[in-house]
Each structure stands twice: as structure tokens, then as C-alpha cells.
Amino acid sequence: MSENLEEYTKKVIEEFEVISNDAERVQRETLKSILEENASAEYLQSLGLNGRTDPESFKACVPLVTHDDLLPYINRIFDGENSPILTGKPITALVLSSGTTKGKSKYVPWSDTFLDSAVQILHTAFAIRDRELPIKNGKCLSIVYLSAQSQTKGGLKLGTVASHVVSNKRYNEAMTAIKSEICTPQEVICAPDFQQVLYCHLLCGLIYRDQIQLLEALFSYSIVQAFRTFEQVWEELCNDIREGVLSSRITVPSVRAAMSKILKPDPELANLIHKICTGLNNWYGVIQELFPNAKYLLAIATGSMEAYLPSLRHYAGELPVVTNDYGASEGWVGTNLHPTVPAEFASYTVFPNCCYYEFIPLSEDPKPVGLTEVNVGEEYEIVMTTRSGLYRYKLGDVVKVTGFYNSTPELKFIRRSGTLLTINIDKNTENDLRLAVVAASKLLAEEKLEVVDYTSHIDLSKEPGHYVIFLEINGEASEEVLSECSTCLDKSFVDPGYLSSRKGNTIGPLELRVVRRGTFQKIFDHFIGMGASATQLKTPRCVPATNTKVMQILNENVLNKYISAAFN
């Protein structure tokens, strides 16, 4: 980077001001560019655009689609067909999605334009944060795991978004200029064993504790998970530092070799960490105490990740929690340009040059509208058109417009689209479930307890069917409180179809099943064992009966069951 950091960040902000001030023009130019680049694609040619690139013709000719609609085309790409199927130039890589939504991963076309957008968004977000939460010449504890890339039978690269982005040399060169140096060696981050990588992340953070100015992860869950693990292994970590010898739990040779270069005997540091840990009250503020020069924590903390905010703040103490960027395996949407706003109230500002966006109103007239045509206060489902071959693609996310930054909207993520829990006429979403758990957690808070994690299940094994909520709690609650929790959960679902079904007894009383500590970690480990990415993995919020292994883990770890009281 030729100019100094201050000049660069000023330039980045000015560039965003230009495109956000004229979002409608930028959107038209973006669509025109996408359609011109991909004019030779079989998919577009079959729809009769005939070279037209204006939004009106595009919307008239091209249908709204889901991933299932495009699957026949993606399968041909997966198998190695080299003709222009969805894009003008052949696709060279596929992204493997997290698989949280439908219980299995999707293959999504990838191109380096995703990387271009990533660099632009991350640079702009950094420039904004640096004005209010500056970081100077420090290191970053980045809780990231890079699952190995593989190849499809057609020879295409196959991996998660993180593996495609973070392993890219151009991305790392661009980010090194603006971000603190990651304290964990690359050989460790790329190792195949998630638990060994996590242990080494914590150890590296402690070794460089005075230099750490930022702790980050893709999802807030990853930071919470790291410090739940820290509670269990801190004495072992202290011993490693005291003796300068890595724990025998680390068996990957490349990891041991990389760690040996930075791990030296340091009894003074080990004693200090031991003193900090033994002096804490229930681990409150452990991050702040261990890393005295840290400025903030950075991770996605909205949507389903909002459930982990209480735990994250407990560990963080007084350190701010900043939610960062909004994107998906399919493409980028925007970033948080208001880093000092509490994470649960954060909105994401849309970058009008990353994709062509449309929004389907959640109303009686579901006609898609353009980026600048949305109304503040209304909810929409996002539709994306990307350079990598997704045209009018329904992302499956529901957002609420909270305002505008210049002429581009700011969005609050609400939930995934579609119904999560339904038996007959009831329709409860992921957000409805989250709000019910939040209500029940207030009862637990009176006993100084927290919900560690949760999921749900529809039990149709007997009539009438009923909802089952699985809760993992960080301690022992009284029978009275847990019984109250089951009733509270039941009454917190306010969907009219659910209420009438409960009153008419066509849906039975809700059942709360409290599971052992560590149950959700076992579910996490199961998904990792199946090849999922630890960086992208999210807890499934509803487990179908067909997912027999996860249901087995849950049911084998049930401590007690509680049935909701009579429904009035």
C-alpha cells in the first residue's frame, strides 16, 4: 500500500460515499456489467433477454429462483462440463455452504469477484471502525479454522467460503495492510483437527497477550466456544507456557513444529495467567483480564448468533462487542458502519456495487422492488443477482429496513425465511423460537443461570403432535423454575395458528427437555466429523426426526422433561 494508513482509510470512505450517494445508478451499472459479462451463458440465452441489460427487461424475462431450481445446472458444473452454463467464463471453484438451513450443504458457484467484494467491504468496515476504535501495531487473536479444500470429480476446487478467501494470496496481502497480524501460525490454522487448532489458538493468544488488540471470529459462537474450552484447559495451557513444552494432546506434526517456534519457557507469564484465572468470579471478564490491551471483539452477533451475546459479554467484561459483515456463501450484502451501536441493534449497510439486489415485501403484494425502493420499517426477503451465475436468486434471508445511509438502505437481519415449526396451521419462525427462549432465559437469570444453547423438534409420535424444546443450561435450576420455563416457552409462541391449535388441543402441550452440559458440543463435533467447517457451523434450530444421529445425541443426554401447564 503506497499511501499511509490514514490516507488510505480516508480514500476508502470517500469511495463508499460516492457509490452510496447514487445507489440507483450504481445498481443499474452493476446489473448491466453482470449481464454483459455473462451474455453467452446458456441459462441467460434460454430466457430471451437477447442482449438487453436494463432492469425492466431483466425482471420480465428472468424468473425468481431458489438453489433447487439451479441445481441441474450446478450439477453439470460440478461434473466438470466446461461450456458457459451459468456464466460466460467457466466456473473454476464451488463453495460448500454450512448446511445449517436444510441439514445438508449446498454447492454454490464461486468466482474471484467474490474476493473483490470481500476486500472492498472489509477495507471499508475497517476504515469506519478505525475512526472510533483504532488499533495500532498490535496482534489479532483470530478464532478461525480452515477446512481443507478438495476437488469435485470434474476437477473444480471445492471448499468453504473461508477456505477460498483466507487461503488466497491476494486477499492476505490486501488485509495485512490494514489488520493486526494474526497471532496463530498459518500451519496451525490449516490443520485438520478442530480441537487441536482451538487449543493452539488459545495458547498463541496467551503467549502474545500484551500485544493482542483484537479478538475476532466469523460467528460470536466461535469466541464463546473458545472460552468455554478455556475454562477446561487453562491449567494445561499454563503448564505449557511454564515448561515451554507443548501438550501431548497436540499430535499433528506440522502444528507441533510451528508452535515450537513461538513457545518458550516463561514461568512468570504462567504464574500471572494462573493468578488471573483463580481470581475471577465465574469467569466474568476473562477476556478483558487476559488481554489488557484488547480494544474490542469482532464477530457476527445478529440473527441466530444473538443467542450467544449474553455469554460473550460475560466473558468479555467491559470490552465492546462489534458485529461485522453480512454475507452468505452466495455473495456479500453489506457491513456494519456503526460499530459503537450495541450488537443486537446493529444494521448492515448495503454495498450497491457488489451484486444486483431486489427485495420481496412480506405483504399481500409480493412484487420485488429495487434497492432504493424499499421502505423504512418494512420487512423483505433478499433476492441477489451475482457475477458468479446466480440470477434473481432468493437468498432465504428476511431483513428489516432500519434506515438509509445516503441512498443505500441499512438492514437488520431478522431470520431465515420460511416456517421453522409447524404441525397444522401454526407457523413459527426461527425468530419466534429465539424470542421464546429469550423469555424463558429471564426466569433462569433469576437463579443466575444462562442458556448455553438450544434447538427444537416437532414430535408427531403420538396425537396430538407437540413442540419439543431442548435447552442446555450452565448450571442446575430448580424444578419449579424449569416447570415455569416450559409454560413460559409455550405461551411465548404468539402465532394465531399456534394459539388456536393449543386452545383447541390440536397441538399438545410444549415439552421442555433439559440436556447435559456439553450436549451441543457433541452435536458440533458430529457435524465436524461429517466434514462441516468449524468456522461456518451454526447450531440447527430445528432437528427433524430424519436426522437420527442428532436426535440420538439429544435424547441420550436428556436430564429431565417438563410439560407445559394447561393453556388458557
Q: Give exposure, 404-426, as e/b (b: 16+ Cβ within 10 Å).
A: bbebbbbbbbbbbbeebbbbeeb
Q: For residue 361, is pLDDT > 90? A: yes
Could you report the per-residue pLDDT of 119-157, keeping only the tens digit for each?
778 888 888 888 888 888 789 999 988 766 677 877 888
Cell representation of residue 378: 418494512
Give the Cα separation of 171 and 116 in Å (integer). 9
Question: For the sheet containing 466-473, what is the strand order?
Answer: 451-459, 466-473, 511-515, 558-563
CA nearest 43: which of 64, 62, 59?
Answer: 62
SS3 at position 169: helix
Q: Cα–Cα distance between 509 and 423 in angstroms, integer?
A: 13
Q: Report which of 560, 366, 350, 384 is spatially closest to residue 476, judged by C-alpha positions.
A: 560
pLDDT on residue 384? 96
Cell numbers describing residue 435: 424470542
> Which pTM was predicted?
0.86
Count of Cβ atoms closer than 10 Å to residue 214 Cβ: 23
Residues 6+ positions from 18 with CB-CB distance below 8 Å: none
Higher-pLDDT residue of 238, 527: 238
Condensed to tens digits (0 to 9), the pLDDT of residues 478-505 reads 999 999 999 999 999 988 889 988 988 8
Task: Report the distance separating Cα 31 and Cα 62, nearest Å.
Answer: 13
pLDDT category at 4 given cuts 50, 70, 90 is: low
Query: 75: how many CB neighbours lie within 10 A of its CB?
Result: 12
> Does the structure show a pLDDT above 60 at 12?
yes
Give me the phi and psi of 536, to 5 degrees please.
-100, -10
SS3 content of the chain, % helix, strand, coil (to 5): 40, 20, 40
Over residues 330-356, the mean pLDDT reads 92
**Which ranges constitute the DSSP H helices of 22-54?**
23-37, 42-45
Who has greater pLDDT, 107 or 551?
A: 551
Contacts of 36 (CB under 8 A, 6+ apart): 53
Is residue 528 a contact partner of residue 537, using CB atoms and an 8 Å limit?
yes
Work out the percent of the chain whose per-residue pLDDT is above 70. 93
The identity of residue 548, as a single letter, is T
pLDDT bracket for residue 554 (50, 70, 90): very high
Domain boundaries, the chain: 5-112+326-416, 134-319, 430-563
Residue 375: closest CA among 365, 384, 385: 365
Label residue 324 by pLDDT band (50, 70, 90).
Answer: confident
Tell me how far apart the alpha carbons of residues 520 and 540 are, in angstroms, rounded to a whole number: 10
With contact defined as beta carbons under 8 Å apart, do 465 and 540 qualify? no
Model confidence at 1, pLDDT cuts 50, 70, 90, reads very low
pLDDT at residue 321 greater than cutoff 90: yes
Contacts of 352 (CB under 8 A, 6+ apart): 19, 20, 23, 26, 27, 30, 371, 408
pLDDT at residue 305 is higher than 70 = yes
Strands 408-416 and 321-322: unpaired
Write down the pLDDT at residue 131.
Answer: 82
Q: Is 66 exposed, middle or buried (0-12, 13-18, 19+ CB in 10 A)?
A: exposed
List CB contacts of 24: < 8 A, sequence separation 6 or more. Answer: 370, 371, 372, 407
Q: Average of pLDDT values for 163-182?
A: 66
In the numeric block, the cell 499430535 is attached to 251
- Give the pLDDT mean for 536-557: 90
Is there a contact between 343 and 321 (Cβ–Cβ < 8 Å)? yes
- pLDDT score, position 2: 41
* Phi/psi of residue 243, nearest 5 degrees: -90, -20
pLDDT of residue 530: 76
Give pLDDT tens digits for 392-449: 999 999 999 999 999 999 999 988 887 788 898 888 988 899 999 999 999 998 888 9
- Residue range 107-118: average pLDDT? 79
Residue 320: how many other CB atoms lie within 10 Å: 17
Rounded CA separation 328/427 (Å): 25
Evaluate if residue 261 carries a pLDDT over 80: yes
pLDDT over 60 (residue 3) = no
Give the span between the Cα atoms of 370 and 357, in whole angstroms.
Answer: 7
The C-alpha cell at 11 is: 480514500
- Please, what is the end-to-end C-alpha distance for the chain in angstroms? 66
The topology (CATH level 3) of 430-563 is: GMP Synthetase; Chain A, domain 3 (3.30.300)
Nearest partner of 94 among 192, 86, 391, judged by Cα: 86
Q: How many CB atoms lie within 10 A of CB 157?
A: 17
pLDDT of residue 170: 66
pLDDT of residue 5: 65
pLDDT classification of 364: cutoffs 50, 70, 90:
confident
Reported as type and span, the H/E element at residue 196 is: helix 194-207
Rounded to 5 degrees, φ, ψ at 316 are -75, -25
The whole-number pLDDT of residue 124 equals: 86
Cα–Cα–Cα angle for 147, 148, 149, rounded to 5 degrees: 120
